[in-house]
Amino acid sequence: MNRKVIVLVAHDAKKTDILEWAGFNRETLKTFEIYATQTTGQILQDKLGLNINLLKSGPLGGDAQVATMIVEGKVDILVFFWDPLTPQPHDVDVKALLRLAVLYNIPIACNRSTADYIISSPLMNLEVTKSLPEL
């Protein structure tokens, strides 16, 4: 079985949350191929020593890169700690990314509780058959 791909994204107000979550789950995360948007990924690399494939920063196209990866069937799990209280200049990209994650049936965690449930699920060890949405 190939390593599962997890994408980690966090808005500025949620960087501490994702750092704490990733630190707690560091050993489990090492079993994944990890992608992250630039700032989030750089923080996780520097603080936790995780091997992360860096994408662009969210406002500079990183969210669109993640969306493309989803459409191409390259994402197994999305952890996106987004900030519901702060307007984002790239809000359109954020909404498109979340829409595609739902449309393509990608497990998505938008907060620590959901991320904990997903990463600790016994289903994580099963091969996932990806399906394209029907129109």
Query: Which tokens is 119 given?
Result: 């990463």
63, 76, 91, 116: which is the annotated catalytic residue?
63
Question: Rg of the chain's alpha carbons, rounded to an integer?
Answer: 14
The DSSP secondary-structure symbol of 80 reads E
Query: Which tokens is 117 given?
Result: 């449930």
Tell me how far apart the alpha carbons of residues 81 and 18 are, in angstroms, rounded to a whole number.
7
Alpha helical stretches, state H, the chain: 15-24, 26-29, 38-48, 62-71, 91-103, 112-120
Question: Does 63 participate in catalysis according to the annotation?
Answer: yes
Tell me how far apart the alpha carbons of residues 58 and 37 are, in angstroms, rounded to a whole number.
6
Active site amino acids: 63
